[in-house]
Chain A
Amino acid sequence: MRSRSGGWLLAPALLLLLVAFVVPVGMMVPMSFRPYVPLVGITDGFTVRYYTKLLTDSYYLEIIGRTLALGFTVTLATLVIGYPVALFLARTPSRWRSWLTILVVFPLMLNLVVRTFGWIALLAQNGLVNQALRALGVVDAPVKLLFNFAGLLIAMTHIFLPFMVLVLIGAIQNIPRDVEDAARVLGASWAGTFCRVTLPLSAPGILSGSILVFVLTISALVTPRLLGGPTYQVMATLIYDEFLQRLNWPAGSAQALLLTLMVLALVYLSGRLARRTGARA
């Protein structure tokens, strides 16, 4: 009888991952410790200066802080906007449900550059948002919405909202309706049922949706680059400039590894947390 081990079936995928993912990312570790000398290039030797600079220099600390702040606010905004949408889509008996879900998927599938471009048109000095604000008499002069935190927050909330909604739909659909009905029969109000039953039971979805949005936000390159320009930097655009403008690969590698470390730590911690809450539930 044939062996039931799946080794050779996994070989192509694992080989691909090894060659084009694991080894290249691993090679960044030694690179991040090599000294870069302007006009000479990457030299032999060993230095930790790129790490110390990242963690002490106020320029880098501000960028790291800004990246994390964006991560938190975008995650919170997508959660607040997205939860009711997910609740509706998960529970509506409408025969349009699958098409409404596809409408959430649509922006996700649409080219990211195109979506970001839409926000440029909306948030520019003479863009639609400023036109509307002035027409409504809210402001007199145009509000600056590009190349700052507000613009990035709005656009990235839009871009990552579908991820949050889709994860939450899955989590809410997994809650048995009987449990909510039981709470109602036992005398809980709608709000009580929601706060004590629905919300806690969708906590795993809230956690994984939040981690996903946070990780994607702090890793994002295209939207911060196009809406923040070369001056309003986040970690991803910093790495981009280090590699393509300044050609300082060791510094870029150190920055890329720090970003990777932050992402992996978050994913790992959320996994631990999910297992603990899962075990308790």
Chain B
Amino acid sequence: MTAARVRGWLLRAWVALAFAFLMLPVVVVALASLSRTSYLTVPPRGLTLHWFTQVLGDAEYVQAIGFSVLLALVATAGAVGAGVAASFALIRRRVPGGALVSALLNAPLVFPAVVVGVALLQFYAMVHLNGSFVGLALAHMVITAPYVVRAVTASLQGIDPELEHAARVLGASGPVAFFTVTLPLIRPGVAAGALFAFIVSFDNVPVSIFLLGAGQMTLPVKIFTAIEYGVDPSIAAISTMLIVLTGAGLAVAERWIGFHRFV
């Protein structure tokens, strides 16, 4: 059994190194945000929370955060509405050309985001939606809906269709059966899909960057342009806030709905 044990330890060592590789940039960003220096440096020289207060006092950052949250909420609401209905139709109803519809619904997952961005830039210019919040929100719904469809579809497949039949026979109309029986049972899938949608929308650069109008700015595009101008610890500070929020959100989602089952 010694050979097996050596293999076991080698595998663990490899896994540990891979996790270190995965976490390395995250740790570096968090450390850099604490440096007293005005330039980016790791390990930090001296410790300060100055960069955090600076970012939170910066009206541009605060507005970008607010705009990103609003956009992500609207996009998530739309994606969940359209995505849950579509998933239900695909799993529970006869859909002519169902495989094609399903492929089309999932297409934005592998479709180059930059192409979606420039295509919408052109299209919105033609239909005079350029720079509009509606256009931006529709774009975000398209790129987030597949995540909802994927999570909700997986959830629905685990629910016995007989439960809906039972509710129907017991006197529930179709919509009542859905809201009293099906929806409560697929809630983890809907929650996971919504969380995905929110994060994907909140993080998006390659679509947003082509569609933002005058006076509109999302947080990731703001950070993106800030980096192009030149890096400093305030970028590390806002990044660290995102790291902490994302980590906390994921931890809550895992405890609450077992998030890893939906990835």
Binding site for B on A (CB under 8 A): 2, 4-7, 9-10, 12-14, 16-17, 19-25, 27-28, 31, 81-82, 84-85, 87-89, 98-122, 124, 126-128, 158, 161-162, 166, 190, 212, 215-216, 218-219, 221-222, 225-226, 236, 239-240, 243-244, 249, 252-253, 256-257, 259-260, 263, 267
Contact = CB atoms under 8 A, between A and B. Distances in A.
A249 B122 contact: yes
Interface string B203-238: 101100110000000001001100110010001100
A9 B209 CA distance: 32
B170 interface: no
B166 interface: no
B174 A12 contact: no
B26 A27 contact: no
A106 B110 CA distance: 20
A20 B141 CA distance: 9
Given A10-B89, A111-B220, A27 B119 contact: yes
Nearest to B8: A88
Interface of B: 3-4, 7, 11-12, 14-15, 18-19, 21-26, 28-29, 32, 40-42, 78, 81-83, 85-86, 88-90, 92-96, 101, 104-105, 107-108, 110-116, 118-124, 126, 138-139, 141-142, 145, 149, 174, 199, 202-203, 205-206, 209-210, 220, 223-224, 227-228, 231, 235-236, 239, 242-243, 246-247, 249-251, 254, 258-260, 263
Contacts of A219: 111-115
Contacts of A2: 174
Contacts, number: 266
Most buried by A among B11, B92, B258: B11
Given A104-B22, A112-B205, A249-B118, 13 more contacts: A4-B94, A5-B94, A6-B94, A14-B101, A25-B119, A28-B119, A99-B254, A103-B22, A106-B26, A117-B239, A225-B224, A260-B111, A263-B111
B11 A102 contact: no
Contacts of A244: 209-210
Contacts of A7: 89, 95
A31 to B, nearest CB: 6
A105 B250 contact: yes
Given A84-B14, A115-B25, A215-B110, A21 B4 contact: no
8 contacts: A12-B85, A13-B149, A16-B78, A21-B111, A106-B26, A121-B42, A190-B3, A225-B224
Contacts of A82: 18
Given A6-B93, A114-B29, A115-B25, A81 B18 contact: yes
Contacts of B246: 106, 109-111
Nearest to A98: B260
Q: Is the interface of A mostly helix, strand, loop or mixed?
A: helix
A16 B123 contact: no
Given A21-B108, A81-B18, A158-B21, A222 B40 contact: no
B114 to A, nearest CB: 5
Given A115-B26, A253-B118, A20 B94 contact: no
A126 B250 CA distance: 33
A118 B86 contact: no
Given A21-B116, A102-B260, A161-B22, A16 B29 contact: no
A9 B26 contact: no
Nearest to B174: A2
B138 A19 contact: yes
